Structure 1
């Protein structure tokens, strides 16, 4: 049963804004409170998805979260009409208000961890939404994320959905941003690489001191158990604590993999040789390409600034791999020089394609943040909600939907506007009908 990879990109929501909420995410903090462009952001993300579809890739979309999150504000004691809740929260606690307006669900790599049927004990594709406990604004997402995933992958013959892990820092889980699957071919059992930042139950182990380690080993192990992964198909590696303290908040900011390629920075991993030896052993005798970027050629700072590793590596229909990179990589001399040389080295990566996703970059996420990878068979793909897949018709419908509902600019003051909440709910209600995912939002469920 032949398998291939499908990328599901998160649609940027109608209240896309820059709040600078994520301590440890340098790009996010540097652009805090700048005026955003929801329409431009949504169109940039959708254009990238359509471009990959035009390159012969299977491509889908996932709906955004509803923001501002009125339900969360009510749970925190703000009362009255929706307009009153917004006004009170914005005046009394700006930090809580902005957290409940976060646009961070656009980074779909944090939505969940996915294991394909070739790896799992029951032969189904497994999904576990990330609990994102390290950041309050992101911890509001998992329930609706689960609803959206179930509306997108609704056929329980092919898909298994798990509840997110317990909402506690001991099981902090950031989803696919700390997970990479390596394989010779998508239809073969692969090795799933889980990357963690700290040991939750052993404070004597290495850990960062400046910025938080958001993913725990214990969370990785729990997801592997839930998905029914065999021991020989799993490797756990720790992210270098020093690189986390340099602003590398997720592994996908410093490493990215695809099939038999792991592309990573020299400083990415703790005890990397030990981990790579285990990876190679479990991968088997077929070639596994470790492409290490030396600090001398690209600094960690330039890697974070340009999101060199928050790129997508995809396998084109002709079997060649290409990197999907933000234009920021082309605008940095050392990164551009490295990528120009990389495609001449005889590795499976043969080309680089640059895309303008600056609205996402300014908020702290590159092309890889915008997508959730799902390897599946043609039969499983037929079991996916077909309205969530990108084709010419659906692309045109979604573009028209964005033009109809999204504002050109959004400032912090706009977020407290009750009319914006009405506009957003109207847009999202229409989107759920376009994607045929059902009533996934609290405002639709009464």
Structure 2
């Protein structure tokens, strides 16, 4: 039976605020602040517990080896000899944002009836460009069953940032859906990270039916306002598309195409007159997880920042009270991730599959989360000051902490990608 499975990235012990992501306003605004990796990981675990309590199937993706010594060696240096900028890029914990791990097309949509995953190349930002080998190793382990096909990344120079720029709508998870690829064009102060060529490559590799595949351009205004990924201004699941009025360059055409292909689609567009792009991005209203628990009521899992924004919370309360498509609101605390530019949706990769076909080491229940939390509390640094990332004692703790987690989860095979 096909189920919605959310694979959350466990926030790694090297989580720090180096401000490496140009165009991500939260990350650059908080550059130089002290981070709290232990609290960050425990916040992520609490979010996964809340998903389990809703009746959802929950998975995990594991922290990558940090610092990435192999990457530094390819740059002809070692960590202790590298510049502070290279050190920060090699130490980044940004793989925790699993929405950038891959693009996923469920079996009902593909030509061969398998679930396809294409690992994202993340080539636009140097600190993320070296993530894909470790991600690919995990995906090929977690999805080794013949029900899946895991693809290598789209080659350079075509930037691909994974599911953060991809949406799927369907009447039921086990029926063919509409897949929407959202790309940008670089006409503003920040780079457009998702290339149309990459979207089209993934669609071909996944053997998607062209008549059920849409390509939509993200608006220049959204990118300029800090929507570095589409999932900062739009999210979709099942029959519901939830988007800001200024998310897309040509929303009227996209909505018309959707309604023609899927008459039962429910489009919830938030007017800019009610919630500005600035408020939407600051609160990460759209970087919420839109999920369908077993009860069938579409539920929005929101960061606390959305609750704290009067304009955002007022609109949400009106929508629910007015019997809109989104029926429940659940607020979670992921402040450490938010301060680095990633909300609840950034932390997860949604896969529609039969849980029985997934390597059980990558699926969790409350007892498994207890084991993970015990490792985090014992090994994750309490705080990291970005000016101290060259400290050998800190590096040793980061590396030993990750190995302790891999051992606890019987995943030492991933000690190196």
TM-score (normalised: structure 1): 0.91
Q: Residues of 2 paired with 1:236 and 1:8: CA distance?
A: 25
Measure the CA separation in 1 of the matches of 2:198 and 2:362. 29
Match runs of 1:234-313 below 5 Å = 234-283=213-262, 285=263, 287-313=264-290
Deviations 1:335-391 (A, max 9, x none): 1101111112222211111001000000001000000000113xxx11211122121
SS in structure 2 of the partner of residue 349 of structure 1:
coil
Q: 2:140 aligns with which of 150, 171, 175?
A: 150
Q: Give, in angstroms, the shift of residue 7 of structure 1.
A: 0.3
CA contact (8 A) 1:86 1:418 kept: no
Q: Distance in 1 between matches of 2:410 and 2:153?
A: 24
Match of 1:393 in 2: 367
Among residues 124, 127, 134, which one is paired with 2:117 in the alignment? 127
Tell me which of 163, 167, 181 is aligned to 2:152: 163
CA distance in 1, matches of 2:255, 2:384: 45
* Cα offset, 1:430, TM superposition: 3.0
1:189 aligns with 2:163: no
In structure 2, the gaps of 5 or more residues are: none
Kindly state the Cα deviation for residue 228 of structure 1 after the two structures are TM-superposed. Answer: 0.9
Name the counterpart of 1:426: 400
Please report how far the alpha carbon of residue 441 of structure 1 lies from its aligned counterpart in structure 2 after TM superposition. Answer: 4.0
Q: Is the 1:181–1:259 contact (alpha carbons within 8 Å) kept by the matching residues of 2?
A: yes
Q: 1:122 Cα shift? A: 1.1
Matched, 1:408 2:408: no
How many Å separate the matches in 2 of 1:437 and 1:385? 11
CA contact (8 A) 1:151 1:437 kept: no
Q: TM-score, normalised by structure 2?
A: 0.97
How far apart in 1 are the matches of 2:415 and 2:252? 45
Matches within 5 A, 1:338-417: 338-377=315-354, 381-417=355-391
Partners in 2 of 1:122 and 1:33 — Cα distance? Answer: 48
- Among 53, 71, 80, the alignment partner of 1:87 is 80
Q: Answer whether contact 1:50 1:390 (CA < 8 A) is retained.
A: no
Runs of 4+ residues over 3 Å off in structure 1: 433-438
Match of 2:198 in 1: 219
8 Å Cα contact 1:193-1:234 kept in structure 2: yes
Ranges in structure 1 where 5+ consecutive residues have no aligned partner: 79-84, 199-206
The separation in 1 between residues aligned to 2:43 and 2:220, in whole angstroms, is 33
SS for the counterpart of 2:107 is coil
